[in-house]
Amino acid sequence: MSRQILVNAFDMNTPTHLVSGTWRDPSSRAADYKTLRYWTELAQLLERGLFDGLFIADVLGVYDVYGGTPDAALRGAVQVPVNDPLLLVPAMAHVTEHLGFGVTVSTGFEHPYPFARRISTLDHLTEGRIGWNIVTGYLNSGARNIGLDAQVAHDTRYDHADEYLDVLYKLWEASWEDDAVVRDVDRGVYVDPAKVHPIEHEGRWFRVPGIHLSEPSPQRTPLLYQAGASRRGKEFAAAHAEAVFLGAPTNAILEAQVAGLRAQAVAAGRDAYDIKVFSGYTVIVAETEREARAKHERYRALVDPEGALTLWSGWLGFDLSPYDLDDPLELVPNDAIQSTAETYGGGDWRVGDLVDRLSFGAGGPVAVGTPAQVADQIQAWLADSDADGLNLSHVVTPASYADFAELVVPELQRRGVYKTAYEPGTLRGKLFGRGPRLPATHRGASFRRSGVGAAA
Amino acid sequence: MSAVSRLRLNAFAMNCVSHIHHGQWVRPDTRQLEYASLDPWVELARLLERGRFDALFLADVVGTYDSFRGSRDTAVVEGLQIPVNDPSLLIPALAYATTDLGFAFTQSILQEQPFNFARRLSTLDHISGGRVGWNVVTSYLETAGRNLGFGGLPPHDERYERADEYLEVVYKLLEGSWEDDAVLRDVERRVYADPAKVHEIDHVGRYYDVVGPHLSEPSPQRTPVLFQAGSSERGRAFAARHAEAIFIAGRNPAGARAQIEDVRARAAQIGRDPGDILFYQGLSAIVGGTEEEARRKAAEIDAYASEDGYGAHMAGNLGIDLSALDFDAPIGELQTNGSQGLLQGLIEAAPDKTWRFGDLMRFVVDLRVVGTPEQVADQLQTWVDAGVNGLNLMYHTTPGSFADFVDGVVPVLQERGLVQREYAPGTLREKLRGDGAGARLNERHPAAGHRRARAAAVAR
C-alpha cells in the first residue's frame, strides 16, 4: 500500500485565523465561530471527508505589534475576539466517532496540575481522540495579563516548558497504575489506593506533591503536537512531539526541516518516523481550472492588507506599519518567532509580498486547480519533502474544507494514497497503528513505574 | 405564581463517581461508573430539561480528601470525589443537546489566572446561548493549595480577599472591556470591531496585574450567573456582595431561615436588594408511589451507605481527622482552616442543642425528604415557607434519583403552582429572575460599577 496522506484541518475559535478579510465572503461562516453549530457541522463535514483531525490554534493575547496597538487586529477580527479552544471539543466529540482534535494550549498560562486534568477529561470524553499542541507563548501582550512584564526569554521558556511536560508525564503516566481502578462492586472498592502514587515533583518552577486527579484515560498522554521551528524549538520537538506542524514557503526548505527533525528524533533515541510531519498547505479547487482560478481571484480580492500586515507583524515581532508596501522586508532577530525570519531570510522580499504572495496559509504553498491538478501538487510536495501530510488551512470556512472533502479526497482515494475508512482506536492508534499509549522510546514513557503503562 | 416565590430546581452532581452520598455507586441501578463518558450526562441533561429543572449544578474540587485516618485512602477506595474530572468540559456537549437547561459549574479562584478564566466563562456563555453560571469557590482542601503551587492552602480569610480581587478582575474584563456596540461586523467597511470601543482594563492589585483587553466579545449574559456557597462569617460577607444565588445546607428550615435572613440583611447593608439573591437548599428526595415504598427505598439506601465515605468527606471539609474523635463528644469550639460555615450552620439550626461529632458525620445523610410525591411536596413547602427559593437536589443514584423527582414530584409541584411548567425565554439569568430586568447583572451589583458609562446605559 502506498504511503497514506494525513490531513488535519486548521482552524481557530475566532473570525480571522490566517487569512484576513475573508470572513466577509457571503459563503463564510467564520463570524459564527461563537456558536456550537458552526463547530459541530464542521466536525461532521471533516469526518465525512475522513480528515484525521481538526487542529485548533489559539493565542492568549492580541496582535498589537502593528502600529503598537490592538486597533488593526480588532478592526479586522485578526485572532481577536478569540474564544477558548478546549470548550469546543466535547460538543464536536458528541457528534463524531473518529475525528481527532488537536487543541493549542500554552505552557505559560495555567498551572500543570489542573491542566493535566483538563486534558485527561477531554481524553475520557472523546474516548481517546485528543491531541495537545504544545506552545510556549509568543505574544508579549499575553504575558502582561498574567502578571509577567514580558515573556521570559526564548530559551528559558523552553526550559520551563520541559519541566511543565515532566510534571504532566508524571501525572498522566506514573500516578495511577493500569490496574489501579478495580471497580469492585462486591467489596465496595473503586480504586486500590496502593496503586495510586503521589508524584512528589520538586523542580525549579513547580512543586507538585500529589496524585493525578483523573483516572487513566485511553491515551493517558494526549497525542503531542508541536510547531516551534527555532533551534531550541526543534530540540523540544525532537524530545516530545509526535506530530509537528511545519510552515515552509518552498519544498527545499521543508525538505531540510523534515530531514533535520527526523535526524534529531533519532538522536533523541526515537525512530525517524515517530514524528508525523504536517505541512501547512492551502487548496483552492474546482471542477475546472478556469473555475479554480476565478475562485482564487475572488478570494484574493477579499484580502485585507492591514489585517495581513497585522498578522505578519505579530509573527515577526516587528512593526510593519511604518513601511511602504514596496520597502524591502526588514528582518529583525526577535525572540518571538526567530524561525519565521530565518525561513524567509535571503530573498528579495518587499513588505507588500507579505500581502500579495503570502496572505494565504501564513505563506505556505497554495495549490490551485482541478482535483487532479491539486492531487498532483500535493503528492509531489509530500514526496519531495518526506512530510507525512497536510495541515490544511482555509481561505473561506467551511467552503475550503468542503471543497477538499468533496473534490480532492475522492481523487486521492482513487490514487490509493488516502484512506477509504477510519481505523478503529484512539487518535494515536489511528496515526501510528501501535496502540493507544506513548511508545516506550518516548520521553514520557520513561516516567512510568514498572506496572504502569504496561498496556501500551 | 410569582417569579420570586417559585421554587427553582437544580440538580447537584459532579464529574466523579461518588459525589455526596457515598457507597451507592456499587448498586446496579445507578450509572455513576459511567461518569467519564458523555452519554449518561447527555441523557441526564435531557431528563432534567423534560422536568423543567433550571440548571445542572456541577461541583468540583482540585484536591483529595486526606484528613480521615490521616490519608486519602478512604476517598480513593470509595471513589469519593477522586478520580474527579473537569466539570466545565461537560457543558459544551450538554448545551448542544438541550435548549433551555442552565449549567452552573464550580471553579476555585486558586486554579488559574482570572485573565484565562474570564475567557472560558465568555466562551461557555457564547456557545450555550447565555445559559451558564459560575459557582465561585475558594477551596477548602489543603492538597489543592499544595498542588497548585501555593505551598499549602492560604488562610481562610485571605482566600476570600484574593477572591474579592479575582472577581474584580473578572468584572472588569467581562463588563468593562468591550462596549455593547463595539462589535460592528460591518462587511462593507471591512470592520469587525470598533477599536475605540474596546478597552484595556489596566488592573493593578495586590494579587493580580492584568492589562487586558478581554479576548472575547460580549456574550449574552456577559458575567455568568454567580453562585456561591460560603456560609462562614467571611464567606457570607463575600456572598452578600457578589452572589446572585447561594447554595445553603440548612440543617432544618429554621437553620435555613436564619442564614437567609442574615445574608439578605448583609446584602441590603451594602446597597443591594435583599431579593437580588436566591437561596438554594441542598436536599435529597427519596420518592415512592406509597409511603411504604419510599421507606423501603430509604432503607435500601441506608444499607448501601458507607459510613467511612461520609466520615472522610466531612473530615476533608473541615481538615480534621474525624476518625480519631469520639462521636459522642460535643463539638464545642472547633478551629478549622477548611469549611468554617458548616459549623456555623449547625449552631444556627438549633442554638441550644449540644452538637456532637456524630451529628457532623450524619449531617448530609439527614438532609433528605422521604415519602410519596405529595408528602415530599409538603415537606418542600416548609422550606419554601422558610424563605428558600430553590432546591439543590442531591442524588443517591443517578439518573434514578432525578428521574423519580421529575416523574413523581415535579407534576405535583407544578399542580401546586410551586415550580415552572415551561421555561421562560432568554438567558439563565432571565429565566431565574423572571423580573424582566434583562440578561445582564443589575445596577446594584458591584460588577456594574466596572462598566463604562456607555455600556451601562445600553444594558439598562
CB pairs under 8 A between A and B: 222
- All 3 cell numbers of residue B193? 470591531
Q: Is the ipTM value over 0.90, yes or no?
A: yes
Is B182 a member of any domain? Answer: yes
B16 Cα to chain A: minimum distance (Å): 9
| Residue A387, helix vs strand vs coil | coil
pLDDT at A13: 97
A139 Cα to chain B: minimum distance (Å): 13
Tell if the CB–CB gap between B190 and A70 is shorter than 8 Å.
no
- All 3 cell numbers of residue B302? 441506608
Is B352 a member of any domain? Answer: yes
CA distances from B352 to A318, B332, B346, B347, B349 (A): 72, 12, 11, 8, 9
Q: What CATH number did the domain enclosing B387 receive?
A: 3.20.20.30
A413 Cα to chain B: minimum distance (Å): 33
Q: Find the helix packing angle between B373-385 and B253-269, rounded to 10°.
A: 40
What's the Rg (C-alpha) of chain A?
22
The nearest alpha carbon in chain B to A72 belongs to B195
Mean pLDDT is lowest, of A191-200, A283-292, B124-133, B323-332, for B323-332
The nearest alpha carbon in chain B to A77 belongs to B192
pLDDT at B3: 47
Q: Does B82 touch chain A (CB under 8 A)?
A: yes
pLDDT at A330: 56
Mean pLDDT is lowest, of A29-33, A183-187, A362-366, B21-25, for A362-366
Is B1 a member of any domain? Answer: no
Can you tell me which residue has the cell 464542521? Answer: A42
Is B421 a member of any domain? Answer: yes
Is B3 a member of any domain? Answer: no
d(CA B230, CA A416): 62
Q: How many domains does chain B have?
A: 1
Is B2 a member of any domain? Answer: no
Can you tell me which residue has the cell 475576539? Answer: A81
Answer whether residue A87 shows pLDDT above 60: yes
pLDDT at B324: 75
pTM assigned to the model: 0.94
Q: Domain A6-447 sits in which CATH superfamily?
A: Luciferase-like domain (3.20.20.30)
**Contacting residues of B for A70, CB less than 8 Å apart:** 195, 198, 213
pLDDT at A456: 40
Instruction: Note the pLDDT tens digit of each residue in B27-39.
Output: 999 999 999 999 9
d(CA B215, CA B120): 10
| Residue B253, helix vs strand vs coil | helix
d(CA B173, CA B169): 6
Q: Find the helix packing angle between B233-242 and B156-171, rounded to 10°.
A: 10
Mean pLDDT is lowest, of A22-26, A46-50, B99-103, B347-351, for B347-351
**What average pLDDT does the segment A68-85 reach?**
96
**Contacting residues of A for B112, CB less than 8 Å apart:** 109-111, 114
The nearest alpha carbon in chain B to A94 belongs to B93
Instruction: Note the pLDDT tens digit of each residue in A307-329.
Output: 999 998 888 778 889 888 887 76
Taking the alpha carbons of A95, A99, A105, A111 in that order, is the dihedral positive or negative? positive
Instruction: Note the pLDDT tens digit of each residue in A139-150.
Output: 666 667 766 655
Tell if the CB–CB gap between B86 and A118 is shorter than 8 Å.
yes
What confidence tier does A249 reach under pLDDT thresholds 50, 70, 90? confident
pLDDT along chain B (460 residues), means of 10: 75 97 97 97 98 98 89 94 97 98 96 94 98 93 85 88 96 97 94 97 94 96 94 89 95 93 95 95 97 98 94 86 79 72 76 81 89 98 96 98 98 97 97 94 95 57
B127 Cα to chain A: minimum distance (Å): 5
Tell if the CB–CB gap between A113 and B73 is shorter than 8 Å.
no
B317 Cα to chain A: minimum distance (Å): 17
Could you list the residue range(s) of the whole structural domain that residue B252 is in? 8-459
**Contacting residues of A for B38, CB less than 8 Å apart:** 90, 93-94, 125
The nearest alpha carbon in chain B to A128 belongs to B37
CA distances from A206 to A16, A203, A209, A432 (A): 35, 5, 10, 32
Q: How many residues does chain A have?
A: 456
pLDDT at A156: 81
Answer whether residue A153 shows pLDDT above 70: no
Tell if the CB–CB gap between A90 and B91 is shorter than 8 Å.
yes
Mean pLDDT of chain A: 90
pLDDT at A340: 54
**Contacting residues of B for A122, CB less than 8 Å apart:** 89
What confidence tier does A276 reach under pLDDT thresholds 50, 70, 90? very high
Tell if the CB–CB gap between B115 and A60 is shorter than 8 Å.
yes
Percent of chain A surpassing pLDDT 90:
75
The nearest alpha carbon in chain A to B306 belongs to A188
